[in-house]
Structures are given as C-alpha cells and as structure tokens.
Amino acid sequence: MDGKYNANDLSQIVEADKAHVWHHLTQHKRFEKTDPRIIVEGKGMRVWDQNGTEYLDAVSGGVWTVNVGYGRESIANAVRDQLVKLNYFSGAAGSIPGAQFSERLIAKMPGMSRVYYTNSGSEANEKAFKMVRQIAHKRYGGKKTKILYRDRDYHGGTIATMSAGGQDERGMQYGPFVPDFIRVPHCMEYRAHDQGLGDLSGAEYGEAAANAIEEVILREGPDTVGALCLEPVTAGGGVITPPEGYWPRVQEICRKYDVLLHIDEVVCGVGRTGTWFGYQHYGIQPDFVTMAKGVASGYAAIALCVTTEDVFNMFKDDVDDPLNYFRDISTFGGCTAGPVAALENMRIIEDEDLLENTNVMGARMMDNLNALMDQHKIIGDVRGKGLFLGAELVRDRTSKEPVSEAEIGAVVDACGAQGVIIGAMNRSVPARNNVLCFSPALISTADDIDQITEVVGKALTKVFG
Ligand SMILES: Cc1ncc(COP(=O)(O)O)c(C=O)c1O
C-alpha cells in the first residue's frame, strides 16, 4: 500500500473514535457513513492521517496554532526534563519556567509588565474581563463595568467570551448572554458599504470606523465603559486587516474616555503576523494582552493575560481592603509544561529567524493570492499580514454577494483531495461565511507556499469553473 500506515492497524482507533469522541465544531451524522479524519503524525509542515495519506498543513494544526511546525524534539525534550523535575504546583507559588518565560516575554512587550498564567485563550480573555470588572468596582463605584467588543471578532467559546462575540451565528442557541458586553461596528473596508461608509477608503475609512467606537461610548455613557476588547487582525471573522488610520484613533479614543484597551492576540500572538505581536505593527500601547495558541505552538496548553504595571498596582494598593487582590485561580495555570514549551518555542523563533521568514513568505503568499485573483473572478478580496491570510469569495465583484458556505466547503474539500489542508470561516457570520483562511507554519518554504496556492487555484477551477 502507498500510505505510511496500514489502515487496518488503526481500525480499532477509528472505531473507538466514532463510538466515543465528540469532535469540535462537527455535525456527527456524516460519521454514520464515513470515517472521521484522525491525524496520526506530524513533521515540519506535514501531517499524516489514519490511512497514511500525507497533507501539507496550511492552517498550522487547523486553527493557527503550530507556529514552529510539528515534530520539534527540542520542545518535547525540554518539557520531558521539566516534568520529571516538577510538573505542577498551584500558581499561588512560582516556578522556574514560569519566571523565566515571563521575563523573556515581557522583554518583547515594551510597556507591559505582568503575566497571569492560565490555560486557554477563552480563559485568558475572561481573566481580563474579570480584572476590568474588579477595577470598575474598586475605582469607579461599580460603574465602569461595560466591555466593548467588535462585530466579527471572536474571543472564545465560554458563555462570558461568547457574550463578547461578534459572530452572531456562533452565538445562536447559546444565550442568554452576560450583561454589559456592548458591540461596536467592524472595521472591514471591503464591506464598508454595509456600514453606510462605502464612499470612504484608506485612512478616511479607518478613522470613520474608529469614530464609530466613540459613538458607542458616548451613547452608553463614558462613565459606564471600562474596556474595549479587539483582535489586532480579526481571525475567524474573515481575516480582517485593520484599515490605515484605525488604530491610532482607537488608542486616542480609549485614552480620552479612560477606557482600558484589551488586545486579544490569541491568534496573532508570537510571530504569526511577522512581529512578536499583531498590535506591534500599529504603534499602540495596550493595557491587557491575551495570548494562547502559538505561544507554545500546541506542544503544551498555555495561555496568558499580560497587563501593565498600572493595572497590576490596582490589585495591591490597599492592603486594608480584604478584597483588594485578584481573587482568581486557574488550576492548570500552574502546569510547568506550558512555560517551558513556550521558552523553547521562543528560542526556535529567534534562532531560526522565523519572524523574518514569516514576512518574506507572507509577502510571497500575498503575491500568489493576488495572482490567483487575476485568474479567478470568484476572489473578491485578499487580505493578510505575515503568514495570516484570507481570500474572500464573491459571486460578483460589484455586488460582493458572498458565495455559499457549501461552496466554500467544496473548495476546502477539493484542496484536501489534493493533499493540502486549508481553513475557512465556519458558521460564524450569518450568510457571510465566505472567506478561505491560510496560516501555514512560520517555517514555510517558498515551495510550500507555492504548493498551497497552486492547489487552491485548481480547487477554485474545480468548484467554480
Ligand atoms: C482571537 C481568539 N481569541 C480567543 C480564542 C479562544 O481560544 P481557546 O479556544 O483557546 O479558548 C480564539 C480561538 O480560536 C481566537 O481565535
């Protein structure tokens, strides 16, 4: 047989999976007739499934996570050595890798100062929300409790983070949600006409999109708004790169109304966009930065809520108040595997110059996608930063009518059939799940990038002619 494995060897695994595993984001009815994909092994940019079929992974583990690629023995060895020394102690105490990684990380985040360890992106965001709420109670007589979030952004799958979710289809059937999360409009220039801003472009559009945030603050009352939570580049909501002029104005508005700025770097964090953090492209200074996926490339679960010293000080300045500290714990925030894997992940990015590679390969992929756009009218827009890119498919470039989610699924399947795993928006924004997503590992070579876009081109021809 051609494949790496004999399918029969894994038939029991497939049966056990089908009988007992509840897959993420999956309608299971189809597994009555077909088998789920089981990923068995990974090396570099490639993974193999239960049939031994090889795939080039253009989405870093499906959800923009495995930034340094698969099969990194140095991370596995570092984790192993740490686990036999000390695997865990509650985060009320410190650990050697916890202290070391915090120091290394903060050196890359000027203006930031404190690292709170937790174990998922959703949880890291919830920690920031809790801090904002506690600050509202401590500092502002319980008033500044509102947290603004943006249309199309995603901050996690828990009920509180879904309350801050800008993807309506994801939220359907999971309400009621938590009060005092307030939506602001998106900043997607390609669909500015949805906002009545269709005649603006570039910095004019960017400033207008930011001004829409100010309007919401004024409508709600600045004395009620504690924080604004945004993705630097929106991921699952359609790979939305911010327009020119947007971020400086956002920062100005936050300062003007004493609104804390929380940047969700769960996808962009640690190299994905060609800088350590996405926000660092835009010269802004956040109060909270949350991160997870790429921090340890999925070699261990780790997530962080990073704050400034000013925020931190608000939780220790009054020792006479028995409530005056962050009364929160995350059990697995005390696992040492996360920070030790993150340290080695960071070393790899530095020693292999992966930020530079991300910029070079990201530019190549953008050029390739633009070339595809010349050949395929179905591509209405391509966007991206570093190795974080998207292609929006529309039936007609003038009306921008989105293709259906089924057609997007057919493109993803056609790529899979040619041995390349790509991503796509998934039941996120009603009738607008029309963006193909690409986030190959930061180790991508020119051949990998060219293979991905060549396969995408063939898939578009197959599905749309
Ligand atoms: C921008 C963003 N924030 C938060 C999360 C939630 O992270 P987790 O799934 O680790 O809870 C995600 C997950 O996709 C994300 O894309």
Q: What angle do CA 282, 285, 290 make, to 5 degrees?
A: 95
| Dist. CA 2 → ligand 1 center (Å) | 37
Average pLDDT score over residue span 162-166: 98
| Dist. CA 154 → ligand 1 center (Å) | 7
| Dist. CA 155 → ligand 1 center (Å) | 5
> Over the stretch 113-161, which tens digit does the pLDDT of each residue have?
999 999 999 999 999 999 999 999 999 999 999 999 999 999 999 999 9
Q: Which atom of ligand 1 is nearest to the CA of 268?
A: 1
- Cβ of 383 closer than 6 Å to ligand 1, yes or no, is no
- Cβ of 122 closer than 6 Å to ligand 1, yes or no, is yes
Domain boundaries, the chain: 7-68+353-464, 74-351
Tell which residue, 261, 260, 262, 264, has the closest CA to residue 272: 264
> Looking at domain 7-68+353-464, does it have CATH number 3.90.1150.10?
yes
> Over the stretch 380-417, which tens digit does the pLDDT of each residue have?
999 999 999 999 999 999 999 999 999 999 999 999 99
- Cβ of 304 closer than 6 Å to ligand 1, yes or no, is no
Q: Give the fold, CATH level 3, of 74-351.
A: Aspartate Aminotransferase; domain 2 (3.40.640)
59 has pLDDT over 80: yes
Which residue's CA is the nearest one to ligand 1's atom 4?
155
- Cβ of 231 closer than 6 Å to ligand 1, yes or no, is yes
Tell which residue, 462, 439, 433, has the closest CA to residue 452: 439
The separation between CA 16 and the C-alpha centre of its own chain, rounded to angstroms, equals 31
58 has pLDDT over 80: yes
- Cβ of 63 closer than 6 Å to ligand 1, yes or no, is yes
Distance between CA atoms of 266 and 65, rounded to whole angstroms?
A: 9
Average pLDDT score over residue span 201-230: 98
Evaluate the CA torsion angle 304, 347, 57, 231 in order and state its sign.
positive
Q: Percent of the chain at pLDDT above 70?
A: 98
| Dist. CA 120 → ligand 1 center (Å) | 7
Probe target for ligand 1 pocket from 266, 273, 291, 302, with the most ligand atoms within 8 Å of CB: 266
- Contact call for residues 69 and 58 (beta carbons, < 8 A): no
Residue 1 pLDDT grade (very low, low, confident, very high; cuts 50, 70, 90): very low
183 has pLDDT over 90: yes
